[in-house]
Copies of this chain bind each other. A is one copy, B any other.
């Protein structure tokens, strides 16, 4: 077939399958029952013709909007912009449009824009990025409006809605295990914000890995941070000015790991030769500073794709009981770079 084919229409599919347009529409939307025989004929025709429904026509003809809202807080977090981009792509693949909306400290105003999204734009559903995933005001509003939503790495209220997450306990365990396997014994931890469950899970993973491998660390080897660079500076100073300095530090995110690098530099501690450091998130910082950070990468593309798919599938509307089936714990990846290396005997 060298001639250029125009995009197939529902009519072309119907003719090829020997059914009416309506039957094609019903098969594709999957709400009403269609005889198995015709179903298969339609699906075959769809595949043969590479048919994709025109989303403008769908929107115009029906009651669904084919729009998905995305609530985020801070775009400058690289996690957010990457999620956004992947969600944009997935939305396009599913014939939907994505509408990003920033939620900021002006909660009344933010709430209003969410309500507008629901009432005026008539979005079909929402995706919530952390820390919005745990924002009580937002969650209440969505429940009142009975709008389907998917939360990304929520900390709390896990029964409230479908969510997509990684296993933060395992993150802590994996990173710590990696350091142990590199030969480190004196492994300190900089913990994240105590308000977030994630912080505690990572810390627990850290502690359990130490126990599992029978590694004993000095008392008070965990410093408190809150995920900001500045908090990392203070935590790093506290740990690195101790007499029993660690040979490795597992920071609960990249910002705080970056702070460790800067503080160590100032103290004349060579990274990675005298001190290994690891972060979590694989942000831009991880590859900007030197040495590049060993860190954890979340499967952002996969998370975005799944979130869009859940909303686009419309299953949440068809059968609200299904909502709770959508609890997804995805795998993460340990990215080994230059900031963490084998322990060297210095004495």
Contact = CB atoms under 8 A, between A and B. Distances in A.
A289 B229 contact: yes
A285 interface: yes
Given A56-B60, A88-B100, A99-B92, A229 B81 contact: no
A118 to B, nearest CB: 14
A57 B58 CA distance: 10
A290 B229 CA distance: 9
| Interface size bracket, A side | 20 to 34
Q: Which label, helix, strand, loop or mixed, suits the secondary structure of the A interface?
A: helix
Contact of A229 (B76, B97, B288): B288
Nearest to A59: B56
Contacts of A75: 81-82, 85
A230 B55 CA distance: 47
A84 interface: yes
24 contacts: A55-B56, A56-B56, A56-B57, A56-B60, A60-B60, A75-B81, A75-B82, A75-B85, A76-B78, A76-B284, A78-B81, A80-B81, A81-B81, A81-B84, A85-B100, A88-B100, A92-B99, A97-B97, A229-B290, A230-B290, A255-B288, A262-B289, A266-B266, A285-B288
Nearest to A85: B75
A54 interface: yes
Contacts of A229: 288-290
